[in-house]
Structure 1
Amino acid sequence: MTNHLEGVYQIHHIFSNINYRFQQLINSSSLRLKIIYCANISNEILRFNKEQIYSLSLNESFSINLIDSLFIYLESLRITSINSNELLLFISNFQSLPCLKSLTIKLLQCDINHSQIYYEIFSLKMLKYFKLSIDDYSTSLQSSSFNPNKQMSHLEYFIIDYQCFLPSITNILSYMPSIHYVSLMKLFYYRSSLETNYPSIWPNLTHLSICLTTWDTMFECFEVLISKIGSKLKFFSFKNYHRNIDYFNASRWENLILKFMPQLDKFYLKYTENVDRILRDRDNNEETNDFTRSFWIERKWILEIEINNQNILFSILPYKKQWFNEENLFKLNQLVISRININKYNYFIQDDINRVLNFTQIYHLEITNENLFIGLLLQITNCLFELRSLKIHSLLLEDDSRDLNLKEISILYSIHLTSQIKKIYLRNLTNIKQIDFLMKFSPYLSFFKIDYLHNLDIPSILRQINHTYLNSLCFYVPTAD
């Protein structure tokens, strides 16, 4: 009994020391704190440690008097779930923060003119980064003038996540001579915007992201905007919420970049199309949609396509090294299938892929579906004659609803005449027989990678691999605990 009590005392003493040391650490003046506010537990920390906090996120209801002059090292502040009237009162306290450089605000709705918010923001002399989000679109779409009595802001990063009119935003930006990063996540751009004056006071603008929300904005209107502000851009990202095929025209983008964005280094373009409309709306001149011409390849801007639900997402993005390590930059086009279109008999409907092939040839394929039936795999790859690599999540050798049909069996037996697949990446190997199928499926396989073996032993796997051309084999083997 005595020994037991001594053990309890020692444990109590150890934890008391840990608590004491932790409290000493918290109270150390040299320690800087990053706090995510929770009303139940954060009040005491804030009360006694204001001078140590450098980053603060206010995600719950809080007092608008929470911020005061004792937050002398506060550099980053994030505010969510606040209404606009409370916000104005709250921001007035920020004048006492000598180090505040980053401010992120998320409003549930905005019942005031946005200009009132920007007047307050412009008074924060140290602020470099500002992001404003508004959830309720119906209250966010305003068109108003802004004149801060010639007061200039030192902001460098400006992110707007609400539906905004282009003239209003350009008016605000005209008072930000140091701005070089602008993201307009829901831009409302109408024809009369062509008359907007784009001041030449944006000499430092190098990063621009735009997501266009208007369905009827012609590409010509957009060209006017870029012709005025694009000369120094090094990074440009564009997405159109509404499906206007004019915004996925390779020739028009090529001309626009050559004329008005000569310094552009990184280019991101996203275009989403409903699968039922692609053939109907596509440009009759196939060359206009050729994103594999030398202009794009020389800049290493690569085409990637994803089939997902009822949409096909086309993306142009800077090249980054992929697992398949393709050396020929003209053969980097990749298709990702997140949804396989099948009929009630579990047979593949190839309309989606046919639509993709109307735009470009595909050399690399990734299928994210789990337990992909090999019959569907055979049908899909049979449509892609130029396929060089394949990445799949997991395979299913047998399907409860059906067996391999005659067409699929014919594809498998003649695949040595047609297949160009030389690299396969299998995320999950669940059955040793899947190895045998993949060896037959890709007779010229030179690279084979498996992530998870699921208790299958490597010697058994190696015995299944008997392949003339295979010269690289990769397994992921987790270390023992």
Structure 2
Amino acid sequence: MMQPKCLSVEKTRTFRLLSNKNKIIHVDLKKITNYFENLSNELFYEIFDYLEGYKLYKAFSNLNSRFQALLACSSLRLKIDLRFYSEGTLEYCANSIIAPNKDRIISLSLANNILYQLNFTIFNIDATFNRLESLVLESIKSNELIPLLISLISLPRLSSLEIYYNEDSKELSNIYQIVFNFPMLNYYKLSLFVAEASYPLSIATNEQFSTIKYLIIDHCCSFDELITILSYTPQLCRLTCEQVNESDDNIVEDALKMICSLKRVSFSKFYAEFDELEMFLRKVSPHLEVLCFNSCNDVTYLDANQWERIISKYLSHLNKLEFKYEESIDEELVTTIYHENLNEFKSLFWIKRQWFFKIAIDTDFWDNNIIVYTIHSYSKDGDIFEKYNGNDQSFINDISHNMIEKSIAPDQQESSTSSTMISESNHLNIIDLSYFQPNETYYDMLSPILTNLSITCLNITLSTIFIGTLIDFIRCLPNLDSLVISSLEMLQPRCLSIEETRNFRLLSDNNKITKVNLKQMNDLEEVQFFLDLCPRMTYFEVNCTDYVGPENVLRFILMKNIRYIRNLSLLCLKVSRTNLNIVDNLKHTIDFEQLCHNYTIKQIDNRIYLRLT
């Protein structure tokens, strides 16, 4: 930052700056300096409020008497963050900024590893920090943290506390007990960097209640330990917890007290059984509005009818549900009644609330293949086959007709939202696959689950997929209507087997695929593959490249393949660059080479649509 004091004593300099319109602009730096110094004190204080304390002093101290007075004003609130500075800077901050300004600091962030190497006494935070509102403590040793927390009880304004702790987890009980006694605490986050933790905290009595409204438990705890912690927070509004495991002991249901103010709950990993989550939802709050969690290992979580009963009876205010359940694809995967009834997640109950069901195949942390079932609150993100606006309404209607799956909602709920939700619920997304050699058993395990869901759209977001793997997935999806491929691996690690070649021919004769979107084309051989695989396609979208342009693709399809794909009515060619003459050039190619006779061609954004009539 330029220092106003230096600029104000310099001679006026004129700089020549070139604007966007190539006009010469003369800038008088003396006037800029004067304008800056003419800002009001109130505006300077607003600027200061965005600056960390050390940076504020470094930029404005010793400039002139006015800035010295502004920095010394008792109404200036300081925010100090000492976690990322060098030793010399830390010593300066401790002695020259913090020590003389304890009563003006409202926010303080400290890390133990450097401060204690320098033997600072900064941790003696006492009543002289009488305006401190927010405190962040990192890597504090347990023998230093406990006395520090006890001293913080005397601070009258401390409303936000974050602790990042990597010491003995046995002290967690003491940490929670002390923090729950803070008189004004509103926000509390405790992060513990150990895999497992156990802490014998007792259920709160009527005289032990905390004022905390926002609680982040950033460590593992069992379900019964969670209930104990919540017994201290009757004013809680939002709860976030990293991982909840099944209970260590038998739970007395009366120990879970109702928290009427609780409206948002999020569990990154909820590994307790479904019965314990059900107990929690029945008891914890009748005004819960948002519920987000991930789980596994208990297939009861996929019981759509049980969810409908719980939500209808106990969670009447719930408006946002984000739920993910993961299931390993291995020899232990067994199709249950809950898998057979997954379509219940598409009933009118879920449609009315605009919560929709999705299924994907992905890999987990250990690179194992998993099925991921999700429930999401609806958002208008657009279809995989994108919709575009243009002046030619007949074109838009035709595009919509070809790109959007026709779905019918029950009874009189035939709104566009309902149709889109049902459509997206019939998608299978293949996000990632571990490097494995799938066999018949692998697909035999998947087939009953996927068939019951009536999957109509397969969306493969892998950077590449082997042709044989794609064929096997399509075989599991007899109702498939739409296919979206990020990139096809034509350089095969091996040739298709005789069985795979036979399956390809059978699929070509029997599949129902009418819409194909190839998002990344490497060569025309990939286009040929989909023309052979999907002879009944009515819509084909191809992302052209600089090496294989729209003219090459157009000629390849219309000259060599149109007789084999007689149902094709709309071809979409996506180009990387917009060219004003591209449509005229394509029309000339079509007419000159007589590729087709009855057609309409139009460009919308970076897509060229050819409608065959």
Partner of 1:157: 214
Matched, 1:237 2:292: yes
Amino acid at match of 2:424: L
1:414-443 Cα offsets, whole Å, 9 max, x none, are 555444767x696x9564258839978994
Amino acid at match of 1:432: V
Partner of 2:173: 115
Of residues 128, 131, 143 in structure 2, which corresponds to 1:85? 143
Amino acid at match of 1:436: V
Q: Tell me the SS of whatever aligns to 2:283.
A: helix
Q: Is the 8 A contact 1:388 1:420 kept in 2?
A: no
Matched, 1:258 2:312: yes
Matched, 1:271 2:388: no
Pick 1 or 2: higher relative contact order, CA cutoff 8 A, min separation 6.
1
Q: Tell me the SS of whatever aligns to 1:44.
A: helix
Of residues 418, 432, 436 in structure 1, which corresponds to 2:553? 436
Q: Tell me the SS of whatever aligns to 1:316.
A: strand
Q: Is the 8 A contact 2:77 2:106 kept in 1?
A: no
Q: Is the 8 A contact 1:338 1:367 kept in 2?
A: yes
Q: Provide the rounded CA distance (Å) in 2 between the counterparts of 1:471 and 1:79.
A: 61
Q: Tell me the SS of whatever aligns to 2:254.
A: coil
Of residues 96, 110, 116 in structure 2, which corresponds to 1:58? 110
Partner of 1:361: 454
Partner of 1:6: none
Shift of 1:226: 2.1
Kindly report which structure 2 residues correspond to 1:13-412, keeping only aligned pairs within 5 A, or say none: 22-24=59-61, 28=71, 30=76, 33=79, 35=81, 37-40=83-86, 41-45=89-93, 47-50=95-98, 54-59=106-111, 61=113, 62-63=115-116, 65-67=121-123, 68=125, 74-95=132-153, 97-138=155-196, 140-147=197-204, 150-190=207-247, 193-198=250-255, 200-210=257-267, 211-214=269-272, 217=273, 219-240=274-295, 242-276=296-330, 280-283=334-337, 286-287=340-341, 290-309=344-363, 310-324=369-383, 327=416, 328=419, 329-333=421-425, 334-340=427-433, 354=447, 357-371=450-464, 384=477, 385-388=479-482, 390=484, 392=486, 395=487, 398-399=490-491, 401=493, 412=530
With 413-422 and 82-91 compared, the bigger mean Cα shift is at 413-422
1:277-325 Cα offsets, whole Å, 9 max, x none, are 5751432772256311111121111222232221122111111222326
Go from structure 1 to structure 2 and tell me whether the alpha carbon gap of 1:254 and 1:46 turns closer, same or farther (over 3 Å shift): farther
Shift of 1:236: 1.3
Shift of 1:130: 1.0
Aligned residue pair count = 451
Q: Is the 8 A contact 2:260 2:285 kept in 1?
A: no
Q: Provide the rounded CA distance (Å) in 1 between the counterparts of 2:198 and 2:302.
A: 27
Go from structure 1 to structure 2 and tell me whether the alpha carbon gap of 1:461 and 1:277 turns closer, same or farther (over 3 Å shift): farther
Q: Provide the rounded CA distance (Å) in 1 between the counterparts of 2:362 and 2:341.
A: 26
Q: Is the 8 A contact 1:308 1:338 kept in 2?
A: yes
1:17-63 Cα offsets, whole Å, 9 max, x none, are 99998234898465754636125144434544445665444355134
Shift of 1:238: 2.8
RMSD: 4.6
Go from structure 1 to structure 2 and tell me whether the alpha carbon gap of 1:112 and 1:375 turns closer, same or farther (over 3 Å shift): closer
Q: Provide the rounded CA distance (Å) in 1 between the counterparts of 2:111 and 2:139.
A: 7
Partner of 2:24: none
Amino acid at match of 2:92: E
Q: Tell me the SS of whatever aligns to 1:276.
A: coil
Q: Tell me the SS of whatever aligns to 1:267.
A: strand
Q: Provide the rounded CA distance (Å) in 1 between the counterparts of 2:160 and 2:467.
A: 52
Q: Provide the rounded CA distance (Å) in 1 between the counterparts of 2:429 and 2:254.
A: 42
Q: Is the 8 A contact 2:362 2:372 kept in 1?
A: yes
Shift of 1:111: 4.3
Go from structure 1 to structure 2 and tell me whether the alpha carbon gap of 1:273 and 1:42 turns closer, same or farther (over 3 Å shift): same
Work out which of the two has the higher radius of gyration on C-alpha atoms and give 1 or 2: 2
1:206-265 Cα offsets, whole Å, 9 max, x none, are 112233334xx3x3343233222242211112322x411111111111111112111111
Amino acid at match of 1:231: P
Partner of 2:611: none
Q: Is the 8 A contact 2:112 2:141 kept in 1?
A: no
Q: Provide the rounded CA distance (Å) in 2 between the counterparts of 1:111 and 1:191.
A: 17
Q: Provide the rounded CA distance (Å) in 2 between the counterparts of 1:311 and 1:31.
A: 51
The unaligned stretches of length 5 or more in structure 1 are 1-9, 477-481
Q: Tell me the SS of whatever aligns to 2:305.
A: helix
Using structure 2 for the length normalisation, give the TM-score: 0.61
Go from structure 1 to structure 2 and tell me whether the alpha carbon gap of 1:252 and 1:159 turns closer, same or farther (over 3 Å shift): same
Q: Is the 8 A contact 2:350 2:356 kept in 1?
A: yes
Amino acid at match of 2:484: L
Q: Provide the rounded CA distance (Å) in 2 between the counterparts of 1:343 and 1:290.
A: 33
Shift of 1:128: 1.0
Amino acid at match of 2:60: Q
Q: Provide the rounded CA distance (Å) in 2 between the counterparts of 1:86 and 1:71.
A: 18
Using structure 1 for the length normalisation, give the TM-score: 0.75
Q: Provide the rounded CA distance (Å) in 1 between the counterparts of 2:140 and 2:180.
A: 20
Q: Is the 8 A contact 2:536 2:568 kept in 1?
A: no
Q: Is the 8 A contact 1:102 1:129 kept in 2?
A: yes
Q: Is the 8 A contact 2:339 2:449 kept in 1?
A: no
Go from structure 1 to structure 2 and tell me whether the alpha carbon gap of 1:470 and 1:136 turns closer, same or farther (over 3 Å shift): farther
Shift of 1:388: 4.1
Go from structure 1 to structure 2 and tell me whether the alpha carbon gap of 1:248 and 1:285 turns closer, same or farther (over 3 Å shift): closer
Kindly report which structure 2 residues correspond to 1:469-480, keeping only aligned pairs within 5 A, or say none: 473-475=604-606
Go from structure 1 to structure 2 and tell me whether the alpha carbon gap of 1:413 and 1:343 turns closer, same or farther (over 3 Å shift): farther
Q: Tell me the SS of whatever aligns to 2:346.
A: coil
Q: Provide the rounded CA distance (Å) in 1 between the counterparts of 2:494 and 2:225.
A: 60
